[in-house]
Amino acid sequence: MEYIEILGQNAKNAAPLLTKMSAGLKNDVLSQIAKDLSENKEAIIAANNLDIENAKKNGMSESLLDRLTLTEKRIDAMVEGVEKVVSLDDPIGEVIGGGELKNGIRLVKKRVPIGVIGIIFESRPNVTVDAMALCFKAGSAVILRGGSDAINSNKALVNIMRNTLSKFGEYENCVQLVEDTTHETAEKLMRLNKYVDLLIPRGGGRLIHTVIEKATIPVIQTGEGNCHVYVDESADLDMAVNIVNNAKTQRPSVCNAIESILVHESIAEAFFKKLDELWKGKVKIIGDEQTAKCVNVEKIADDNDYATEFLDLKLSSKVVKNVDEAIAHINKFGTGHSECIVTKSLENAEKFQREIDAAAVYVNVSTRFTDGFEFGLGAEIGISTQKLHARGPMGLKELTSYKYLINGNGQVRG
Amino acid sequence: MEYIEILGQNAKNAAPLLTKMSAGLKNDVLSQIAKDLSENKEAIIAANNLDIENAKKNGMSESLLDRLTLTEKRIDAMVEGVEKVVSLDDPIGEVIGGGELKNGIRLVKKRVPIGVIGIIFESRPNVTVDAMALCFKAGSAVILRGGSDAINSNKALVNIMRNTLSKFGEYENCVQLVEDTTHETAEKLMRLNKYVDLLIPRGGGRLIHTVIEKATIPVIQTGEGNCHVYVDESADLDMAVNIVNNAKTQRPSVCNAIESILVHESIAEAFFKKLDELWKGKVKIIGDEQTAKCVNVEKIADDNDYATEFLDLKLSSKVVKNVDEAIAHINKFGTGHSECIVTKSLENAEKFQREIDAAAVYVNVSTRFTDGFEFGLGAEIGISTQKLHARGPMGLKELTSYKYLINGNGQVRG
């Protein structure tokens, strides 16, 4: 049996143990994991140093090095994340439907674990702990495939968690790390339908599209955010500038930050004047000809620019005739993540919310709120940009399935 | 642009029209489709006759010919199916969550259409009408790819429906038929992520697995049913025989019929005696050595037999030591569809329902009840055997997605 199949089988065998585990025991395990991570900071940092050294040798950029680095403070944040998951309600066992059918058959629709979840992610090692805690609380065994850059950090983190699990019983295989980080093995994982129920890629567009292309397991697409703010004719311009500024600059590297603005032609000049007074060139604008008449642009925007997720202090801009043109543009170039209209018009607000095809459609609110914590889900494994299973922030409930339990007294179908 | 891409683009352009269509208008359209189908029976039957003639020339088996044949009565049943869909509640627009967040942001989680759904199916032309009606009511444009055997029937049916749609506006492309029935075009459809949101294969195991293998669009796996009845030590044997008989013989060709029985060793002899008195060899049994000691078997069962969906008056059988062995066998060989325990033991009933990993887990009820109508969903597009998005019978609600609508007064994230 191949290496990755063994991991698959281990996870498949661990999944039923999790199904039987009480909410209390799951929380005890997670609390202990938090403690053990906290007590093993030195070992984690030592392992992380190996990754950092290798990365420096390989000429990794400063920003990627920063994502890879684990400090005491960052480990504390991981630990807090696990404790936060402990505090959330257990989603498993919730009755979400049912009733008595004809012939007295009783039907209960109950929330159950998914089974085995595979997570494929890039260099940030905090995903290792985060993903394990959420999947474990949701009752699923997890197979983690992190990037080769973080392999030593990930091994250290997973070993600590497996060690904690083994203190409670034969539970180690509730979390496994794919230590062979070749692409070949990753691709085999994507086709492990026999053992894995769901695959979640976490990372950039290229990773996500590779997984969609190669996987035969169901995939949930997360985190691609080509988000827009449309400033309508009737917008309060101060509010519009404030929202655009927040959505672009508060944290440009995240998926719910905006990448593009659309501005109604009748207020374009006044809007860009106000925006320029605030930004004074701090954010590079790639705009159409009409934008260029109102404000300095880096270059004239083409379709490629409108399709780009900059994740930087840079955005594309287009002046539009009306809300319909804005909606058409967004539905063409958007990734179905978060979209916003700033307007005083009820008609345009309703039209925008009805016709925009995205997970979260905002009226007069910054797109930065699309987030599991902000939406009250407590935590999130990612933000789904597809329409199957879960859309928008995925919390614990979105990491579950359901089954029907049917009881009767010998009923047969006539 | 390639043929299938044009269909994809047409559907993608039709989807927003459906999003804007009221529940009343959708029902009016469907009622008119029912009428128009009813009034064009002759044309439908004439087209179907072409398919039948071709199929006979190609030596199609009697049972497949029967599935392909449309009679007046069968067209009436289709029409009734459409009228039934009219009578169902519209799922779109339902508010399924939400509330007021901190800072006064109001959040509404609302049920919305999926967008564009592709259905790939085999020779039964009734699926054409059935699938269109359900997808249309759920607000999605549909691309139908039926088998080449039924191409003339499907063309006739789709032309009638498109003609009806055009009476109400530019709505023809809410339903499109892939008239090029080559495998090459089908495979291109499976990779049309740019336009299609969901793919549902309806047919045998081979079709389903081809789609899973080739598709890059999210797929919902439906209708594979290797279902079991486990007869526990404490079972009422008359009830057990009655349930096994119903689940196997009432309609052997459907996915919720059983393919295998597991019998506790302590009651095996008595159970098989009763079963044999009823069946008298009518159902062929492929059993293990212990089954063979109790009843005539066609051959000794191997793992291949336990994995087979016979869809015929034939079933596999195994004598087991206890409920744990039954659960392990079912979780190994089952397809996650419908599983039943016949027992008087509360402990074993609860264990079985907790540990069996399937969409529907029955205690003392025939597996034949796993059905959208029986479960109160009104209708079904299929029975999902996967754990993402929908599990078990998929009705109108399971054919929808949701989005978050967020309203505020200029809130930004701090």
Instruction: Give the integer Cα–Cα distance in Å for A399 and A135.
Output: 7
Which residue in the set B242, B374, B402 is minimally distant from A410, CB to CB?
B242
List the single residue in B with minimal CA-CA distance to A351: B20
Half-sphere exposure of A85 (CA within 13 A, CB side): 30
- Helix H segments across B138-169? 151-168
Which residue in the set B99, B374, B404 is minimally distant from A101, CB to CB?
B374
| B18 in A contact zone (CB under 8 Å) | no
The answer for residues whose C-beta is within 8 angstroms of residue B28's C-beta and 6 or more apart is B168
Instruction: Give the integer Cα–Cα distance in Å for B244 and B237.
Output: 10
Q: Contact A379/A84 with Cβ under 8 angstroms?
A: yes
- Closest to A253 (Cα-Cα) out of A6, A66, A48, A44: A66
Contacting B residues, span 388-407, partner chain A, CB-CB under 8 Å: 388-389, 391-392, 401-407
* Tens digit of each residue's pLDDT (9 = 90 or more) over B86-129: 999 999 999 999 999 888 999 999 999 999 999 999 878 988 99
Residues of B in contact with A236 (CB under 8 A): 410
> Mapping DSSP to helix (H, G, I), strand (E, B) and coil, where does residue A384 land?
strand
Cβ–Cβ gap B403/A364 under 8 Å: no
Model confidence at A102: pLDDT above 90: no
* Tens digit of each residue's pLDDT (9 = 90 or more) over A16-74: 999 989 999 999 999 999 999 999 999 999 999 999 999 999 999 888 898 899 999 99
Model confidence at B21: pLDDT above 80: yes
| A20 in B contact zone (CB under 8 Å) | yes
Q: Contact B216/A213 with Cβ under 8 angstroms?
A: yes
Instruction: Give the integer Cα–Cα distance in Å for B343 and B361.
Output: 13
Q: Put the strands of the sheet holding A141-145 in their side by side order.
A: A175-177, A141-145, A116-121, A198-202
Residue holding tokens 């199609």?
B60
> What is the amino acid identity at position A304?
N
| B22 in A contact zone (CB under 8 Å) | no
> How far does B240 lie from chain A, in Å, by closest CA?
8
Cβ–Cβ gap B387/A408 under 8 Å: no
Residues of B in contact with A335 (CB under 8 A): none
Instruction: Give the integer Cα–Cα distance in Å for B73 and B69.
Output: 11
* Tens digit of each residue's pLDDT (9 = 90 or more) over A159-199: 999 999 999 999 999 999 999 999 999 999 999 999 999 99
Instruction: Give the integer Cα–Cα distance in Å for B252 and B257.
Output: 6
Instruction: Give the integer Cα–Cα distance in Å for B413 and B53.
Output: 68
Cβ–Cβ gap A412/B357 under 8 Å: no
Enter the DSSP assignment of A369. Answer: G
Residue holding tokens 């959505």?
A247
Above pLDDT 70, what percent of chain B? 100
> How far does B383 lie from chain A, in Å, by closest CA?
12
| A355 in B contact zone (CB under 8 Å) | yes
> What is the amino acid identity at position A35?
K
Residues of A in contact with B369 (CB under 8 A): 101, 105, 406, 411, 413
Q: What integer pLDDT is reported at residue A190 of this predicted model?
A: 97
- Whole-angstrom distance between the N-terminal and C-terminal Cα of chain B? 47
Model confidence at A123: pLDDT above 80: no
Cβ–Cβ gap A359/B197 under 8 Å: no
* Tens digit of each residue's pLDDT (9 = 90 or more) over A269-297: 999 999 999 999 999 999 999 999 999 99
Instruction: Give the integer Cα–Cα distance in Å for A248 and A254.
Output: 10
Beta-bridge partner residues of B200: B119
Instruction: Give the integer Cα–Cα distance in Å for B310 and A207.
Output: 41
> Mapping DSSP to helix (H, G, I), strand (E, B) and coil, where does residue A34 land?
helix
List the single residue in A with minimal CA-CA distance to B401: A387
Residues of B in contact with A357 (CB under 8 A): 16, 115
Above pLDDT 70, what percent of chain A? 100
- Closest to B358 (Cα-Cα) out of B381, B392, B316, B382: B392
Residues of B in contact with A255 (CB under 8 A): none
Give residue limits of the domains in chain A: 3-222+389-407, 227-369
Cβ–Cβ gap A408/B364 under 8 Å: yes
- Closest to A326 (Cα-Cα) out of A359, A358, A279: A358
> How far does A399 lie from chain B, in Å, by closest CA?
9
**In what helix (H) or strand (E) does residue A11 lie, and over which residues does it extend?**
helix A3-20
Which residue in the set A19, A101, A361 is minimally distant from B354, CB to CB?
A19
Tokens of B209: 């697995």
- Show the CA angle centred on residue B396, arms to residues B75 and B394, nearest 5°: 90
Q: What integer pLDDT is reported at residue B318 of this predicted model?
A: 98
Q: Contact B60/B148 with Cβ under 8 angstroms?
A: no
> Mapping DSSP to helix (H, G, I), strand (E, B) and coil, where does residue A94 land?
coil
Model confidence at B206: pLDDT above 90: no
> How far does A99 lie from chain B, in Å, by closest CA?
9
Q: What integer pLDDT is reported at residue A219 of this predicted model?
A: 94
Residue A253: Cβ within 10 Å count: 10
Model confidence at B184: pLDDT above 90: yes
Return the exposure string of B199-233: e unless at least 16 CB atoms fall within 10 Å of the residue's CB, then b.
bbbbbeeebbebbbebbbbbbbbbbbbbbbbbbbb
Instruction: Give the integer Cα–Cα distance in Å for B272 and B280.
Output: 11
> How far does A213 lie from chain B, in Å, by closest CA?
6
Instruction: Give the integer Cα–Cα distance in Å for A80 and A78.
Output: 5
Report ipTM for this prediction.
0.94
Instruction: Give the integer Cα–Cα distance in Å for A106 and A101.
Output: 6
Cβ–Cβ gap A198/B243 under 8 Å: no
- Closest to B14 (Cα-Cα) out of B155, B115, B146: B115
Contacting A residues, span 89-108, partner chain B, CB-CB under 8 Å: 99, 101, 105, 107
Instruction: Give the integer Cα–Cα distance in Å for B174 and B142.
Output: 6
Model confidence at B187: pLDDT above 80: yes
Contacting A residues, span 257-296, partner chain B, CB-CB under 8 Å: none
Residues of A in contact with B394 (CB under 8 A): none
Tell me the CATH number for domain B3-222+389-407: 3.40.605.10
Which residue in the set B236, B369, B406 is minimally distant from A406, CB to CB?
B369
* Tens digit of each residue's pLDDT (9 = 90 or more) over A198-228: 999 988 888 999 999 999 999 999 889 999 9
- Helix H segments across A168-216? 183-189, 205-214
Q: Contact B262/B287 with Cβ under 8 angstroms?
A: no
* Tens digit of each residue's pLDDT (9 = 90 or more) over B41-77: 999 999 999 999 999 999 998 888 988 999 999 999 9
Instruction: Give the integer Cα–Cα distance in Å for B272 and B270.
Output: 6
The answer for residues whose C-beta is within 8 angstroms of residue A95's C-beta and 6 or more apart is A108, A109, A110, A111
- Whole-angstrom distance between the N-terminal and C-terminal Cα of chain A? 47
Cβ–Cβ gap A364/B410 under 8 Å: yes
Residues of A in contact with B410 (CB under 8 A): 236, 239, 242-243, 364-365
Cβ–Cβ gap A364/B407 under 8 Å: yes
Averaged pLDDT of chain B: 95
> How far does A25 lie from chain B, in Å, by closest CA?
17
> How far does B250 lie from chain A, in Å, by closest CA?
8
Tokens of A160: 């600590």
Residue B27: Cβ within 10 Å count: 16
Cβ–Cβ gap B408/A216 under 8 Å: no
| A197 in B contact zone (CB under 8 Å) | yes
> Mapping DSSP to helix (H, G, I), strand (E, B) and coil, where does residue A74 land?
helix
| A357 in B contact zone (CB under 8 Å) | yes
| B73 in A contact zone (CB under 8 Å) | no
Cβ–Cβ gap B404/A360 under 8 Å: yes
Cβ–Cβ gap A403/B392 under 8 Å: yes
Q: Contact B372/A107 with Cβ under 8 angstroms?
A: no
| Options 3.40.50.1450, 3.40.309.10, 3.40.120.10, 3.40.50.300; CATH of A227-369 | 3.40.309.10
Selected residue with higher pLDDT from B20 and B258: B258
Residue holding tokens 């709120």?
A369
Sign of CA dihedral B33, B34, B37, B40: negative
Cβ–Cβ gap B361/A216 under 8 Å: no
> How far does B322 lie from chain A, in Å, by closest CA?
18
Q: Put the strands of the sheet holding A95-100 in their side by side order.
A: A95-100, A106-113, A400-411, B360-365, B338-342, B227-231, B258-264, B314-320, B284-287, B299-300
Cβ pairs bridging A and B (under 8 Å): 192
Q: What integer pLDDT is reported at residue A216 of this predicted model?
A: 95
Instruction: Give the integer Cα–Cα distance in Å for A153 and B294.
Output: 59
Q: What integer pLDDT is reported at residue B63 of this predicted model?
A: 81
**CA-CA distances (angstroms) from residue B125 to A11, B380, B414?**
42, 16, 57
Residues of A in contact with B101 (CB under 8 A): 369, 374-376
Q: What integer pLDDT is reported at residue A401 of this predicted model?
A: 97
| A140 in B contact zone (CB under 8 Å) | no
Selected residue with higher pLDDT from B164 and A377: B164
Instruction: Give the integer Cα–Cα distance in Å for B160 and B162.
Output: 6
Q: Contact A140/A158 with Cβ under 8 angstroms?
A: no
Neighbour-count burial of A66, counting CB atoms closer than 10 A to its CB (0-12 exposed, 13-18 middle, 19+ buried)? exposed
